[in-house]
Amino acid sequence: MTAERLRERRRGGRRTGGAARAGAGKPMANPAFRRLSNPYAPIEQYSADQIEAIHDTSLTILREIGIRVLSDQARQIYRAAGADVDEATKHVRIEAALVLDAVGRAPTQVTLRTRNPVRQVTAGGKALAFATVGGPPNVSDIENGRRPGTLAAFRDLARLAQSFDVIHLLNPMVEPMDVAPPFRHLRMTRTMVTQSDKVPFVYCRGIQAVADALDIIRLANGLTEELFTRTPCCFTVVNANSPLQLDDLMCKGIIEFARRGQLMILTPFTLAGAMAPITLPGALAQQNAEALAGIALAQMVRPGTPVAYGGFTSNVDMKSGAPAFGTPEYVKAAFASGQLARRYRLPFRSSNVNASNAPDAQAAYESQMALWGAIMGGCNLLMHGAGWLEGGLTASFEKFIIDVEMLQMFAALMQTESFDDDALALSAVREIEPGGHYFGTRHTLARYETAFYAPLLSDWRNFETWQESGALDATRRANRIYKQTLADFEPPALDASILGEIDDLIARRESEGGADLER
Amino acid sequence: MTAERLRERRRGGRRTGGAARAGAGKPMANPAFRRLSNPYAPIEQYSADQIEAIHDTSLTILREIGIRVLSDQARQIYRAAGADVDEATKHVRIEAALVLDAVGRAPTQVTLRTRNPVRQVTAGGKALAFATVGGPPNVSDIENGRRPGTLAAFRDLARLAQSFDVIHLLNPMVEPMDVAPPFRHLRMTRTMVTQSDKVPFVYCRGIQAVADALDIIRLANGLTEELFTRTPCCFTVVNANSPLQLDDLMCKGIIEFARRGQLMILTPFTLAGAMAPITLPGALAQQNAEALAGIALAQMVRPGTPVAYGGFTSNVDMKSGAPAFGTPEYVKAAFASGQLARRYRLPFRSSNVNASNAPDAQAAYESQMALWGAIMGGCNLLMHGAGWLEGGLTASFEKFIIDVEMLQMFAALMQTESFDDDALALSAVREIEPGGHYFGTRHTLARYETAFYAPLLSDWRNFETWQESGALDATRRANRIYKQTLADFEPPALDASILGEIDDLIARRESEGGADLER
């Protein structure tokens, strides 16, 4: 019977709808997607006792084994705070009380300012925000294939990010390999603040590069030095060099971000079986030790500086050593990482990841696994939300659009509707003949325009109509949508005098030779 | 840093692994996937009060509005049980106490017998089982395109279902349009029991067709009439003709299945905005009324007969009337339907559905949304688990393989690992240099062969290797895998004398002209 009812349904005049919109490729402004709050209780992977066992193991690691810290300055800060530092091996061993005291000083929630107040992002509690892909050296689309990242690709991805309300933060979308490294941070940051008024990212690539990027962002926000230091406006991600090592640039990033009061996300990158134990509880204990060590350092520099707890535990294929993402193990680790973050009352960062080499069904199902793990794990800040492909080695324009569709579906899932007598609809049921339909009822007519999620990419037309219109699969439709979105793009307002100040700063720094990335 | 670590990882000798297995296309026997138990607490869409409000509204619908019942025999059963029957309009109105008393007689759990005991399926509690697609009139693969279903396609899909341990039940995978309707049930049932030893489906297409199919299944199980009636060995799905109508054949199916003690899944097919109110609470109240009416009828025929509560509330695109699946609304309805099923302590049925016209990224992400809604909603019996495409109008061979991969990932997610000192891995962490790796440790070597989920379809090789080997996307790899799986197929054991009895029965029924599908 179901199939018969469906055939009847699908014979109806489906000439418009999702696909017609998809064909037009207009990004749909949806202010409801600008601030998301997750109404669901998080899924828990482990019992409270098991989380305590992971917690205890990580504290034992920090106390007995310690973490190797390659920055002299960071070791000095740890020592001054009371940690046991071995200068010969560069090992820092920290007692539990010292770690927990420092971590306890971190705020439970942080609000990131934007020059356009509607773009402000809150991290923590039930708030949920999505960031673009960050870091790939390559970019791809299905027409031009995979090639090294450029500043133009970086700009185009920033424009896509700006175009969809469901994207809240900009990661460094692709590495602009056509810009010389000493100047790269200047061009990337300028592109972010001119093409978008959303929260930008800053790389920890040395003290000077961080200072330059923060200055540009400070100017874009129209803030004084003093006010900027009290107003988080951007974020960075600090990865441990797992297992159990913090390198020099990462330490400098932690110290600089803490001094300037900007948000840092401490994210050990722990692939179980490779850089972490092959068992999930073990990998999570190591992740936790590394995250707590970094968060403690930040709080030792400046108590109360905003931080987030990043979980990025996945696994490798043990037959080949290949990294895997969006696996069942990844999902379990995301659920557990959310529990750990909440254990410390910290905002939780997770990621939308996959290992596919093409923006295909594998990319979609691995990403969905990762998204459900992250979001139902209680994620506050979702990194790599749109565009990540190939285990993070490529930013894909089509995957960006596929991801926006998926993120919008989650954003719609987060919306709660009224639940009253009118929603229970008994009066509407009374109006209908058995076997009839509700299309013309007053109850339907009052609600049909906004009742359900309207897709960007999904094509719900019947097979014949879809075939007549070219039988484009989702990836090819995504290609059209990204190009149309770029064609329609208009940059956000930025005061001309502010842009002048930014360009003066960049010109000066460029004439000085840019940043020394080793410092 | 993450990207750099990844590049290092991916430069490693990834010449084998997932894709190598995918290329071989050998279905991987995994006995751990034969009995699944869901360790997670279900996600709840509504508060307990809101669920009670939906429950109360549905009881008001049954008491005040009633349901139209097109079967004389069914109306007689309702009347004999104490319902108020209007023979002129065929409306049956049932008091809450009568409905709840009847529903309360249904068992909370049912075990479905199979001739091979390892294939036995339990429905209810935390048990989770997956069924194939059922019902499409068309079949497709990417080489031959979409065409009407045939018995050969039905057989091939049954063979795929048999080949993967993660598939537990066979729905009627595709309609064999090349078999005349009076004989179709005979050929379909024979194909199911010869190609597979998993739990088969029986259509409610009239009393004779049901009796024939049940007889074949009884013979395949080697059971007497009497024993068969006490031993559920197969299942059917009964859809209401929503809104609020039970047609003649469906009623006959309910009555016949109850008499024979076989499992029926009562599943209203309620598309919000079309056959149900546009508001989810309203659509769910109608779904609940229809499901309870059918379940009550079954229990009036034979108290204690096994039933499951089916939820199939989705929505239409209000601009075109097109049905949509795997939407945010679908997910919410699945979470809520699970709550309702548990309210009545009944096994819960949900579905893996999508509206895509191709086995592409849309098919994958819509299916994933549906799967998470179903499984985290506490689903016991997942219908359309593998192969459903195009809103149920096509059974796709490639989608079957994509779905098997997704189901296997969920099956792996359902596995719980030991959590002890060895899993916490402190001793392994002690062995490792900071910045080193765990590949060669005793802890890793003892576990690497079974540590993580090994994919069937996902390709985790690096981009260059993938490209050199033909750059096949997931859909094209799925095509290879399904063909290889069919090439490798070996049917399960079936006693020759039993097969002889079945063929005698079929020959006799065929000589008699098959079944009258109107009775």
Q: Give the containing element (helix H, strand E) for B340.
A: helix B328-343
Task: Write out the two tokens for B334.
Answer: 């699945």
Angle at CA of residue A58, ends A55 and A62, nearest 5°: 140
- In the block, residue with structure tokens 């840019």: A514
Closest in B91, B443, B463 to A390, CB measured = B463
Half-sphere CA count of A390, side-chain side, radius 13 A: 28
> pLDDT at position A15, please?
35
Q: Which of A362, A436, A467 sits opposite B474 (nearest CB)?
A: A362
Q: Which of B26-40, B329-343, B485-499 has the lowest mean pLDDT?
A: B26-40
Whether the per-residue pLDDT at A116 is higher than 50: the answer is yes
pLDDT mean over A464-488: 97
- The pLDDT of residue B20 is 38
Query: How is B243-266 classified by DSSP, letter by letter?
Result: SSEE-HHHHHHHHHHHHHT-EEEE
Whole-angstrom Cα distance, residue A16 to residue B321?
A: 9
Note whether A393 contacts B423, CB cutoff 8 Å: no
pLDDT of residue A5: 56
Sign (positive/negative) of CA torsion B278, B281, B287, B290? negative
User: How crowded is the C-beta side of A441, counted as CA atoms within 13 Å?
Assistant: 23
Q: Is it the case that residue B3 has pLDDT exceeding 60?
A: no
Residue B9 pLDDT: 53
Instruction: State the DSSP H helix or E strand holding residue A264, giving kind and residue range, or none if neither.
Output: strand A263-266
* Per-residue pLDDT, A1: 41
pLDDT higher than threshold 70 for residue A21: no
pLDDT at B24 over 90: no
Q: How far is CA B164 from the centre of its chain?
A: 14
At residue B472, does pLDDT exceed 80? Answer: yes
The mean pLDDT of chain A is: 94
Which long-range contacts does A496-504 make (Cβ < 8 Å, 24+ apart)? A498/A219, A498/A220, A498/A222, A499/A194, A501/A219, A502/A190, A502/A193, A502/A216, A502/A219, A502/A220, A503/A190
Residue A152 touches chain B, beta carbons under 8 Å: no
The answer to whether residue A77 scores a pLDDT higher than 70 is: yes
Q: Is the N-terminal amide bond of A172 cis, ω within 30° of 0?
A: no
Q: Would the CB atoms of A372 and B372 count as touching at under 8 Å? A: yes
pLDDT over 50 at B470, yes or no:
yes
Q: Is the pLDDT of residue A244 over 80?
A: yes
Average pLDDT over residues A311-325: 92
Say whether A312 and B2 touch across the interface (CB within 8 A).
Answer: yes
What is the pLDDT at residue B319?
Answer: 86
Interface mutation vs chain A, best among B201, B357, B404, most A CBs within 10 Å: B357
Confidence at residue B517, expressed as pLDDT on a 0 to 100 scale = 82
Instruction: Using a CB–CB cutoff of 8 Å, tell me whether A369 touches chain B.
Output: yes
SS3 (DSSP) at B90 = coil
Residues of chain B positioned with their CB less than 8 A from the CB of A285: 424-426, 429
Which of A41, A67, A321 has the CB atom closest to B434's CB atom?
A67
SS3 sequence, A401-467?
HHHHHHHHHHHHHHCCCCCCHHHHCHHHHHHCCCCCCCCCCHHHHCCCCCCCCCCCCCCCCCHHHHH
pTM: 0.96
- Residues 415-434 of chain A whose Cβ lies under 8 A from any Cβ of chain B: 415, 417, 419, 422-426, 428-430, 432, 434
- Residue A487 tokens read as 């064609």
Is the CB of residue A43 less than 8 Å from the CB of residue A377? yes
State which residue of chain A sits closest to B272, comparing Cα positions: A438
- Which residues of chain B make contact with A355, given a CB cutoff of 8 A? 458, 460
Q: Which residue has the tokens 């003290």?
A: A207
Tell me how close the Cα of B400 comes to any Cα of chain A, in angstroms.
12
| Residue A27 pLDDT | 57
pLDDT over threshold 70, residue B11? no
**Min distance B226 CA to chain A CA atoms (Å):** 30
Burial degree of B461 (CB within 10 A; 0-12, 13-18, 19+): buried
In chain B, whose CA is at the least distance from the CA of A317? B17
Residues of A in contact with B474 (CB under 8 A): 356, 358, 360-363
For A226-261, b where at least 16 C-beta lie within 10 A, e where not — what string? eebbebbbbbbbbbbbbbbbbbbbbbbbbbbbbebb
pLDDT on residue A494: 97
B514 in contact with A, Cβ within 8 Å:
no
**Treating both helix axes as pointing N-terminal to C-terminal, what angle do A280-301 and A72-81 enclose, rounded to 10 degrees?**
80
Residue in A277, A368, A376 nearest the CB of B365:
A368
In angstroms, rounded to a whole number, what is the distance separating the alpha carbons of residues A310 and A374? 11
Whether A135 sits inside 8 A of B327 (CB atoms) is: no
**CB within 8 Å: A434 and B244:** yes
CB-based contact, A444 to chain B, within 8 Å: yes
Interface of B with A in 207-266 (CB under 8 A): 237, 239, 241-245, 247, 250
Residues B161-208: pLDDT tens digits? 999 999 999 999 999 999 999 999 999 999 999 999 999 999 999 999
- Which of B36, B75, B279, B398 would best serve as a mutation to test chain A binding (most A beta carbons within 10 A)? B279
Of B285, B394, B412, the CB nearest to A425: B285
What is the C-alpha separation between B428 and A276, in angstroms, rounded? 9
Among A91, A142, A368, most B C-beta atoms within 10 A, so best to mutate, is A368
- Among chain B residues, the shortest Cα distance to A90 is held by B434
| DSSP-based three-state secondary structure for B175 | coil
Summarised one tens digit per residue, pLDDT across range A203-221 is 999 999 999 999 999 999 9
Q: Whole-angstrom Cα distance, residue B487 to residue B160?
A: 10
Smallest Cα distance from B415 to chain A, Å: 9
Q: CA nearest A240: which of B426, B423, B5, B444?
A: B5
User: Cα–Cα distance between B102 and B295 in angstroms, integer?
Assistant: 8
Q: H-type helices in B196-307, by residue range? A: 207-220, 225-229, 248-260, 280-301
C-alpha–C-alpha distance, residues B131 and B510, integer Å = 29
Q: Extract the tokens encoding A149.
A: 């990242």
The pLDDT of residue A517 is 81
Contact present, A222 and A498 (Cβ < 8 Å):
yes
B102-154 per-position pLDDT tens digit: 999 999 999 999 999 999 999 999 999 999 999 999 999 999 999 999 999 99
Which of residues 110 through 129 in chain B touch A, CB cutoff 8 A? none
Alpha carbon separation from B304 to A446, B106, B300 (Å, rounded): 43, 5, 9
DSSP element (H, E) containing B351: strand B348-351
Interface test with A, best of B339, B349, B360, B420 (most A CBs within 10 A): B360
Give the 3-state secondary structure of B305-338: CCEEEECCCEEECCCCCCEECCCHHHHHHHHHHH
> Chain A contact for B79, CB < 8 A?
no
Strands A84-86, A110-112: pairing kind:
unpaired
Q: Which 8-state DSSP code applies to residue A66?
A: -
Task: Give chain A positions within 8 Å (CB) of B427.
Answer: none
Q: How far apart are CA B40 and CA B413, in angstroms?
A: 10
Quote the CA–CA distance of A92 and A82 in Å, as a whole number.
10
> Tell me: the pLDDT tens digits for A271-285?
999 999 999 999 999
Q: How many CB pairs below 8 Å do chains A and B form together? A: 494
Q: Is there a contact between A175 and B449 if contact means CB atoms under 8 Å apart? A: no
DSSP state, A39? Answer: -
d(CA A378, nearest CA chain B) in Å: 13
CB atoms within 10 A of CB B277: 31
Which amino acid, B352? N
Q: How many CA atoms lie within 13 A of A334 on its CB side?
A: 33
Could you tell me which of A74, A56, A54, A64 has the C-alpha nearest to residue A246? A74
Residue A7 has pLDDT above 90, yes or no: no
Question: Looking at residue A19, what is its pLDDT?
Answer: 38
Which chain A residues are closer than 8 Å to B1 by Cβ?
Answer: 239, 241, 247, 250, 269
C-alpha dihedral, A144 to A146 to A150 to A151, nearest 10°: 70
* pLDDT above 60: residue A8: no
Tell me the C-alpha distance between A255 and A250, whole Å.
9
The answer, for B515 touching chain A at a CB cutoff of 8 Å, is no
ipTM of this complex prediction, to 2 decimal places: 0.96
- Residues A321-350: what's their mean pLDDT? 97
- For B350-382, the pLDDT digits (tens) are 999 999 999 999 999 999 999 999 999 999 999
- Mean pLDDT of the B290-304 span: 98
Question: Which residues, 6 or more positions from A258, have their beta carbon under 8 angstroms from its beta carbon?
Answer: A264, A297, A298, A299, A301, A302, A305
Other C-beta atoms lying within 10 Å of the C-beta of residue A298:
27
Q: Are the beta carbons of B365 and A409 separated by less than 8 Å?
A: yes
Given a contact cutoff of 8 angstroms between Cβ atoms, the answer to whether A209 and A185 are in contact is: yes
**In the predicted model, is pLDDT for residue A13 greater than 70?**
no
* Alpha carbons A118 and A115: distance in angstroms, whole number: 9
CA B6 to chain centre: 38
CB contact under 8 A, A430 and B361: no
Which residues of chain B lie closer than 8 angstroms to A467, CB-CB? 357
Q: CB-based contact (8 Å) between B88 and chain A?
A: no
Mean pLDDT of chain B: 94
- The model's confidence at residue A518, banded by pLDDT at 50, 70 and 90, is confident
Q: How far is B496 from chain A (nearest CA, A)?
A: 35
CA–CA separation, A301 vs B139, rounded Å?
64
> What DSSP assignment string belongs to A190-256?
HHHHHH--SEEB---S-HHHHHHHHHHHHHHTT--HHHHHTS---EEEE---SSSEE-HHHHHHHHH
- What is the per-residue pLDDT for A516? 87
